């Protein structure tokens, strides 16, 4: 049972447009959510996070939105740049109920930004 | 950058042979993790450690064991490798405060 799901394996957008990556979760104990970016032959790198007490967090071109009632979060990239082409992983943890720090990841979405 | 080094970076082995992957960190993080990445599955947690000699199982722990004798080192062992363990393995560390994990560059393992 996949607790964190990214139902779109891939997404292609034009440079300068908005990229929207989606993520759904099933475990109501999750209270902290993160997005990671991964280039080929490299490890994932942290991009942006959001706590369940918020519904939006913004960092430059990247904004994460959280809809707790729908158990859904999304990552918006505006404007998209060719260098954003990578695999994006959504991740979740239950920080308030567990001190293990472990993250549960989704399957990933491959974003291609065309020049 | 949490200063995480994985070795070996690439390994090809045969079914039934033992394999050990090493993760070394220089940040003195308390928590260490081993994930595997497979197409269609994303990153799945194999084992993790919350201190020296303290380890626990993750989602896909069957066929794997771990050891942590020092804060900086976390070993992943496949006692008898199988083709289903062909994957890219990532080590990660965390300080347990920020909620963020830092990843190594990965170890690509091929079991023939």
Phi then psi for B83, rounded to 5 degrees?
-60, -30
Task: Identify the pLDDT of residue B98.
Answer: 77
Q: Which residues of A touch B (CB under 8 A)?
A: 4, 6, 9, 32, 34, 36, 41-46, 49, 89, 91, 93, 95, 99-108
Tokens matching residue B101: 């994990």
Predicted confidence (pLDDT) at residue B6 exceeds the cutoff of 60: yes
Alpha-carbon gap, residue A44 to A50, rounded angstroms: 18
Judged by CB atoms closer than 8 Å, whether chains meet at A43 and B101 is answered as no
CA distance A78 to chain B (A): 23
Determine contact, residues B13/B87, Cβ cutoff 8 Å.
no
Alpha-carbon gap, residue B41 to A5, rounded angstroms: 10
Judged by CB atoms closer than 8 Å, whether chains meet at A100 and B41 is answered as no
Task: Identify the pLDDT of residue B36.
Answer: 97
CA distance A101 to chain B (A): 6
Indicate the pLDDT class of residue B63, thresholds 50, 70 and 90: very high
Residue of A24, A42, A44 best to disrupt the B interface, most CBs of B under 10 A: A44
Task: Identify the pLDDT of residue A98.
Answer: 74
Task: Identify the pLDDT of residue A95.
Answer: 79
pLDDT digits (tens, 9 = 90+) for B10-59: 999 999 999 999 999 999 999 999 999 998 899 999 999 999 999 999 99
For residues A77-87, average pLDDT: 98
Q: Using only C-alpha atoms, what is the Rg of chain B? A: 13
Alpha-carbon gap, residue B100 to A93, rounded angstroms: 10
Phi then psi for B84, rounded to 5 degrees?
-70, -10
Residue B88 CB neighbours (<10 A): 17
Alpha-carbon gap, residue A102 to B49, rounded angstroms: 10
Phi then psi for A45, rounded to 5 degrees?
-125, 140
A91: which chain B residues are within 8 Å (Cβ-Cβ)? 43
Alpha-carbon gap, residue A50 to A53, rounded angstroms: 8
Task: Identify the pLDDT of residue A13.
Answer: 98
> What is the Cβ-side half-sphere exposure of residue B86, based on CA atoms within 13 angstroms?
10
Task: Identify the pLDDT of residue A59.
Answer: 97
Task: Identify the pLDDT of residue B1.
Answer: 52
| Gap between the terminal Cα atoms of chain B | 34
Question: How is residue A108 annotated by DSSP?
Answer: -
Predicted confidence (pLDDT) at residue A39 exceeds the cutoff of 90: yes
With b meaning 16 or more CB within 10 Å and e meaning fewer, what string describes B13-51? beeeeebebebbbeeebbbbbbbbbeeebbbbbbbbbbe
Indicate the pLDDT class of residue A115, thresholds 50, 70 and 90: very high
Name which residue leads in pLDDT, B36 or A101.
B36
Determine contact, residues A79/A17, Cβ cutoff 8 Å.
yes
Give yes or no for B2 touching A (CB within 8 A): no
Predicted confidence (pLDDT) at residue B97 exceeds the cutoff of 90: no
Predicted confidence (pLDDT) at residue A87 exceeds the cutoff of 80: yes
Mean per-residue pLDDT of chain B:
94
For residues A17-22, average pLDDT: 98
Minimal Cβ distance to A46: which of B48, B50, B100? B100
CA distances, B69 to each of A27, A73, A84, B27, B40 (Å): 33, 38, 39, 16, 34
């Amino acid at each position: 049972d996949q607790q964190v799901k990214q139902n779109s394996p891939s997404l292609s957008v034009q440079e300068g447009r908005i990229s929207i990556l989606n993520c759904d979760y099933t475990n109501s104990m999750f209270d902290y959510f993160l997005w990671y970016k991964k280039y080929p032959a490299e490890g994932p790198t942290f991009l942006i996070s959001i706590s369940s007490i918020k519904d939006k967090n913004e960092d430059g071109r990247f904004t994460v939105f959280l809809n707790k009632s729908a158990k859904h979060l999304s990552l918006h990239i505006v404007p998209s740049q060719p260098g954003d082409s990578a695999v994006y992983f959504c991740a979740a943890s239950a920080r308030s109920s567990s001190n293990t720090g472990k993250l549960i990841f989704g399957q990933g979405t491959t974003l291609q930004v065309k020049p | 950058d949490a200063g995480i080094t994985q070795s070996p970076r690439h390994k090809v082995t045969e079914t039934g042979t033992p394999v050990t992957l090493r993760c070394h960190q220089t940040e003195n993080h308390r928590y260490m993790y081993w994930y595997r990445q497979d197409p269609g599955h994303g990153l799945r947690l194999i084992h993790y450690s919350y201190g020296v000699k303290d380890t626990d199982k993750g989602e896909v722990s069957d066929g794997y064991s771990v050891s942590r004798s020092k804060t900086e080192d976390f070993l992943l062992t496949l006692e008898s490798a199988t083709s289903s363990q062909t994957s890219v393995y990532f080590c990660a560390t965390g300080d347990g405060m920020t909620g963020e994990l830092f990843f190594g560059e990965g170890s690509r393992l091929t079991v023939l």
